[in-house]
Amino acid sequence: MATAGGRARDTSGTPLLEVRDVVKTFGSNVANDSVSLKVMPGEIHALLGENGAGKSTLVKIIYGALQPDAGEILWKGRPVSVGSPAEARALGIGMVFQHFSLFEALTVAENIALAMPKGTDARKLGRTIAEVSRDYGLPLEPDTRVADLSVGERQRVEIVRCLLQNPALIIMDEPTSVLTPQEADQLFETLKRLASEGCAILYISHRLEEVRAICHHATIMRRAKVVSETDPTRETVGTLARMMVGSHVAEIHRERAVPGATRLELRGLDVPATGPFGVALKAIDLTVRAGEIVAIAGVAGNGQGELFDALSGENPAPSDGMVLIDGKPVGHRGVNVRRRAGAAFVPEERLGHGAVPGFRLSENVVLTRHGTREGITRSGFTKVAVAGRVVTDVTDRFDVRKGTPDPEARSLSGGNLQKFVVGREVHREPGILVIAQPTWGVDAGAAAVIRQALIDLARAGSAVLVISQDLDEIFEVADRIAVISRGHLSAAKDAAEMTREEIGLLMAGGAEKRGEP
């Protein structure tokens, strides 16, 4: 990613979009505190900030999905009130969402037709889709079913759907979080082309490298306020990060791994897909040894969820010998047998999977540790006092910030709840830890604490398997890296020998060709 020069910002004309002193509060929580923002025509404008900084709220206000409590929005110099997303689209504001809103059973053209005005000619629409998608380097077959498309291709559908409405401003929420590095590069070309044609792009991302590579201007938010505006090409990743976080982020300490005996082993793990849109796991082989962290990279939806369920036993493997914990075959066993054998699991979803939202933290300790013979249950009775001591220990060690000693899980912020959910398992000192998306949606401070805990656990002799979509995180913690693609897993290789390009190729399907000459 080279930073092209000559991206000077022309602020002489009327801004395309101007947000002035917008305030939005939810109860006692101020999400936007007098936020102002100017987007010029034809610029790629980055909106940076940590989770919870107020970016999403601001974007939803611009797109009409939320109404501001105070402040005004000017579109091409005129004050407007954007009452709904439909009104935003009528003005010329389009949005590409992080989570797609496509019907999997319909074709590309049918999905796009749903967003078009009534009476649009279906055949003509198919041709237009093909033309537009080719022109912008987003190749799409109008008649393909969305279910058969990769995540990157689905995003193209969203972008094309947006483009057909001739927007003057496109809002993109973390567009590259679901793409391989190569797909992301392709997207950047499209964005540059759009910008050169005068379309402005409001680009939300945490990925500072790509912001430096393609954006003309950056507005940085922290704790509901705009804290600075800058030209990202004149900043380094470090200075941008500091502006976002407001302080220095703790460095992670990692010594080289001295791997010991194999603790977790997968032998030809084959699991059929559970639904029409699920992913089947195909002949997965993997070993994780004591003392090391192995990371599984991959674009979302390539079988990570299925692999986690097969490892945890929520969806057991067809035979016992496919999953071995410390040599013990458990492939067909349930989650508590595996926990008793020394394994611990942290799923991707914190609320509703890793923790029950309406339960107190102590009850959430019971949730995963009632079957591990640690005295949390005795003769069928739950020992809340014992669970409460675990909460205190985890809180102290992981600095979980909470209002009351034993609050409901849902009242914790994302980062604090994640520290609790990880801490709950690490506290057991498990021999094997399987963790999915350890720091998804977590602020930089909490992420550093969690990653350090994983490294410390491994160095103390446990085997840690991290399933993550965040390559930066993977390179920070992993000793070996494997890549999952459509249910196939590549052989795990030493992290020092892996490059982003190589991982990208494996993500894009290279992992499936393993074993062929």
Name which of 268 and 334 has its Cβ closer to another protein.
Answer: 334
Report in angstroms how near the CB of residue 202 gets to another protein at its nearest: 16
Closest CA to 433 of 315, 292, 316: 292
Of the candidate spans 119-127, 192-200, 328-336, 481-489, the one that interacts with another protein by CB under 8 A turns out to be: 328-336
Name which of 78 and 118 has its Cβ closer to another protein.
Answer: 118
Report in angstroms how near the CB of residue 217 gets to another protein at its nearest: 26
Name which of 287 and 368 has its Cβ closer to another protein.
Answer: 368
Report in angstroms how near the CB of residue 334 gets to another protein at its nearest: 5
59 binds another protein per the rule CB under 8 A = no
Name which of 268 and 358 has its Cβ closer to another protein.
Answer: 358
State which amino acid sits at residue 429.
Answer: E
Name which of 31 and 244 has its Cβ closer to another protein.
Answer: 31
Own/partner pairs, 79-88, CB within 8 angstroms, 24+ separation: 88/62, 88/63, 88/64
Kindly tell me which residue out of 24, 89, 217, 222 binds another protein, with binding defined by CB under 8 A.
Answer: 89
40 and 56 in contact (C-beta within 8 Å)?
no
424 and 456 in contact (C-beta within 8 Å)?
no
19 and 63 in contact (C-beta within 8 Å)?
no
354 binds another protein per the rule CB under 8 A = yes
101 binds another protein per the rule CB under 8 A = yes
Q: How would DSSP label each residue in 243-289?
A: HHHSSPPPPPP-PPP---SEEEEEEEEEE--SSTT---EEEEEEEEE
Of the candidate spans 208-216, 293-301, 307-315, 425-433, the one that interacts with another protein by CB under 8 A turns out to be: 307-315
Name which of 265 and 348 has its Cβ closer to another protein.
Answer: 348
Of the candidate spans 45-53, 202-210, 321-329, 345-353, the one that interacts with another protein by CB under 8 A turns out to be: 345-353
95 binds another protein per the rule CB under 8 A = yes
Dist. CA 337–CA 477, nearest whole Å:
28
**204 φ, ψ to 5°?**
-100, 130
166 binds another protein per the rule CB under 8 A = no
Q: Which residues, including other chains, have CB under 8 Å from residue 262's CB and lie 6 or more apart? A: 287, 288, 289, 290, 327, 463
Of the candidate spans 24-32, 171-179, 187-195, 271-279, the one that interacts with another protein by CB under 8 A turns out to be: 24-32
Interface characters, 403-422, with another protein (x: CB under 8 A): --------x-----------
359 binds another protein per the rule CB under 8 A = yes
Kindly tell me which residue out of 353, 397, 486, 514 binds another protein, with binding defined by CB under 8 A.
Answer: 353
Name which of 89 and 216 has its Cβ closer to another protein.
Answer: 89
Interface characters, 257-296, with another protein (x: CB under 8 A): ----------------------------------------
155 binds another protein per the rule CB under 8 A = no
- Name residue, tokens 């393909």: 144
Kindly tell me which residue out of 115, 125, 132, 252 binds another protein, with binding defined by CB under 8 A.
Answer: 115
| Helix intervals (H) in 230-303 | 237-245
Name which of 317 and 511 has its Cβ closer to another protein.
Answer: 317
- Name residue, tokens 């969305």: 146
83 binds another protein per the rule CB under 8 A = yes
E strand or H helix at 387, and its extent? helix 384-398
357 binds another protein per the rule CB under 8 A = yes
Kindly tell me which residue out of 10, 14, 21, 26 binds another protein, with binding defined by CB under 8 A.
Answer: 26
437 binds another protein per the rule CB under 8 A = no
Dist. CA 32–CA 461, nearest whole Å:
45
Write the DSSP symbol of residue 327.
Answer: T
Dist. CA 165–CA 117, nearest whole Å:
10
Dist. CA 435–CA 422, nearest whole Å:
8
Name which of 115 and 300 has its Cβ closer to another protein.
Answer: 115
Of the candidate spans 5-13, 335-343, 455-463, 478-486, the one that interacts with another protein by CB under 8 A turns out to be: 335-343
Write the DSSP symbol of residue 315.
Answer: S
460 binds another protein per the rule CB under 8 A = no
480 and 458 in contact (C-beta within 8 Å)?
no
54 and 80 in contact (C-beta within 8 Å)?
no
358 binds another protein per the rule CB under 8 A = yes
339 and 368 in contact (C-beta within 8 Å)?
yes
Report in angstroms how near the CB of residue 447 gets to another protein at its nearest: 23
276 and 484 in contact (C-beta within 8 Å)?
no
State which amino acid sits at residue 334.
Answer: G
Helix (H, G, I), strand (E, B) or coil at 376: coil
487 and 464 in contact (C-beta within 8 Å)?
no
482 and 474 in contact (C-beta within 8 Å)?
no
Dist. CA 62–CA 15, nearest whole Å:
14
Of the candidate spans 132-140, 197-205, 332-340, 496-504, the one that interacts with another protein by CB under 8 A turns out to be: 332-340
28 binds another protein per the rule CB under 8 A = yes
Q: Among positive and negative, which fits the CA dihedral 99, 103, 109, 113?
A: negative
Where along the sequence are the contacts to another protein (CB under 8 A)? 26-29, 83-87, 89-90, 95, 97, 101, 114-115, 117, 312-314, 334-336, 339, 345, 347, 349, 352-359, 363, 366-368, 370-371, 377, 380-382, 411
